[in-house]
Structure 1
Amino acid sequence: MKWAELEPSPDMVAALDAAGERPFDGTRADKNNWSNRFADACAVMVAKSVARHPVWSKFEVRPNPDGSGRESLTFVAGGDQKRVDVIASTLATGLQLGVSLKGMNFRDATSGNFDKNLTGRTYELQAEVSAIHGYQPQAFLVGLFFLPLASTQDKKSGASSFARAVAHLRARTGRLDPTLPSQLARCDAAAIALYVPGDPEDEAQRGAVRFLDVHDAPPHRGRPRVETTLTLGKVVDRWAVQRYEAAGKSIDYVAPEDD
């Protein structure tokens, strides 16, 4: 299957609709406002998938499908307030899953690339992860970056913005030991969401979206093959497996002796 053959995701179409018309020629404030609306809508999309999963569904997942419940997404850690876009938690167990969404949704006006703010977005993510891990070291925290599909082909040489974002996040993902202070700023998992915003340059249908775990290999430049990417449901399933194994609870069973 090719990207051009992908059916749009209804939830991604809804997120794009909620964000409104993309301000290509707008001010920085216009683009920031669009990105904030888009992130809020994407958080609802991710939370819906998390809430449907058999592992995470036993927890309280926020935000709610109607976008409410965001008041429970802000944590006070080390005197700072840090907001997580999607959470699965209970009052008794605390934060079990936290997903922080970051977006690089527009080309830089000078370079035409999408990764101008990659370092800044990464610093934001690390500050959130470090503060929350310092308060709840066992929490499983995920970084999820959203990039338009055009970010895979935005450079004539070197790694595309998409490939660079994968490498950037991979280097900051995975904790050897959650009790080590040196590991607090590292995500437990990370992924890139490649979506089609419906720009004139797009060669796929508006609302198509696929995900790449940062530990999977991206092309240096160009669109990844669809079969090497994941649906949102499969990404959420990976988080559940990784969280389960990280807690040291994974076990395989064999058939017992016949009676």
Structure 2
Amino acid sequence: MNILIVEDEADISQLIRLYLEKEGFTCADCRDGLTAIQLFQDQQPDLIILDLMIPGLDGLEVCARIRQQPGSKDPFILMLTAKGEELDRIIGLSTGADDYMVKPFSPRELVARVRALLRRSLRHGTQGQIYETPNFWVDLDQRSAQRQQDGQLTPLDLTTLEFDLLSMFISYPGRVWSRSQIIDRIWGSDFYGDERVVDTHIARLRKKIELDPAQPTFLKTVIGVGYKFEDG
């Protein structure tokens, strides 16, 4: 697994790299946002450890640009921040970060968080089942999903986590899922962080399955409770 470390404090970057390489990860590092974008494009890492306060483009802008790039690998992003305020964490998750850690942090905990994030890409759903609705076709065995458009099925380009979310919702049409239930189902005991990370991934899934993500037809918000899937 390849990891990109984006941290402008050299001693912290070297410490992170030391611990990760001892665990068998391949690491690259840089000190500023523009270089981070270039290395992401060139190396397509599996995970990015991204400091919030870096020169050039800050961590929030780097995170947002990575999530907006079509056709690129969709890496996990673990954001680092020296600030403990709730607002910083919320903004980081809303731009597409998968998890966050507040400095100072334990290097061993950081390695545990990295492993937990990367294990998500190895988790597979129930085998041998196909779910079909008026607008969607999901094959759990092949881990493929398609959407009905203009009378034809069009493949959906979903990340592993997005596929797991869609599979969960489509398996229980009409059921309302709270954030904590979604976390238990998708992440299980591997989850670290804020429940609001669920909202981030729901928003990204909506961009791929809804005609108008701002007014979703299929993946709906149940105010004060959570989310549900409806189709037909």
What TM-score do the two structures reach when normalised by structure 2?
0.31
What TM-score do the two structures reach when normalised by structure 1?
0.28
Of structures 1 and 2, the one scoring higher in RCO (CA 8 A, sep 6+) is 1
By percentage of residues, which structure has more strand? 2
